[in-house]
Amino acid sequence: MTQPVAKRFPTPSIDRLPDDIRTRLLAVQEKSGFVPNVFLTLAYRPDEFRAFFAYHDALMDRDSGLTKAEREMIIVATSAANQCHYCVIAHGAILRVYAKNPLIADQVAVNYRKADLSPRQKAMLDFAVKVALHSHSINDADFPQLREHGFSDEDIWDIGAIAALFALSNRMANLINMRPNDEFYVLGRVPKS
């Protein structure tokens, strides 16, 4: 495959990026074996790149009542609702890795209501998709329902904020026509022996 990583805006070459951004890209490459295209394409605007990943890290790396896999589920379910090619494929891969479950990402992407999830996780995704698609109708009655499933107010902020951040991310990926790296499609599909 020699498809461009994104078709509508230039992709900067790694060696001409600001030091902090190049360092981050090389660290990711070291860890994953490739540079996810979201890093390359967003680096076209360094300040926006830095803000996006600062936001991402604040939510995805923090201590939370949500597991890392659950946070990825939110991304996959809401990105599927927005038909975001990049985010469903890339975060689907990450979800498989974190959940150590080769089936879960495709299930959540097609229809999370039928996925192999706990009632608590389905309630989490119901709320995340509401934030993604109908945030104007969020109301006070949503909160006790989530608390009944054991979510704290901090957890609810996390659910909502992740859905909100990927509302941004989905729109940027759709704007840029960002292409997921081929590596993501198979990542985590076969449990490592």
Give the binding range for a copy of itself (CB under 8 A) out of 22-30, 31-39, 64-72, 180-188: 180-188
Which of 4, 27, 34, 110 binds a copy of itself (CB under 8 A)? It is 110
Token pair of 27 as six digits: 């660290």
CB of 16 to a copy of itself, least distance (A): 18
**x-marked contacts with a copy of itself along 69-108 as a string, rule CB under 8 A:** -----------x-xxxx--xx--x---------xx--xx-
Residue 52 touching a copy of itself (CB under 8 A): yes
Q: What is the DSSP string of the chain?
A: ----SBSSS----GGGS-HHHHHHHHHHHHHHSS--HHHHHHTTSHHHHHHHHHHHHHHHSS--SS-HHHHHHHHHHHHHHTT-HHHHHHHHHHHHHHHT-SSHHHHHHHHGGGSS--HHHHHHHHHHHHHHHHGGG--TTHHHHHHHTT--HHHHHHHHHHHHHHHHHHHHHHHHTB---THHHHTTSS---
Residue 189 touching a copy of itself (CB under 8 A): yes
CA distance 171 to 151: 28
Residue 40 touching a copy of itself (CB under 8 A): no
Residue 172 touching a copy of itself (CB under 8 A): yes
CB of 68 to a copy of itself, least distance (A): 17
Which of 136, 141, 144, 191 binds a copy of itself (CB under 8 A)? It is 136
Please report, as ranges, the residues that interact with a copy of itself according to CB under 8 A.
1, 3, 7-9, 45, 47-48, 50-52, 54-55, 57-59, 62, 80, 82-85, 88-89, 92, 102-103, 106-107, 109-111, 113-116, 131-132, 135-140, 143, 153, 157, 160-161, 163-165, 167-172, 174-175, 177, 182, 185-186, 189-190
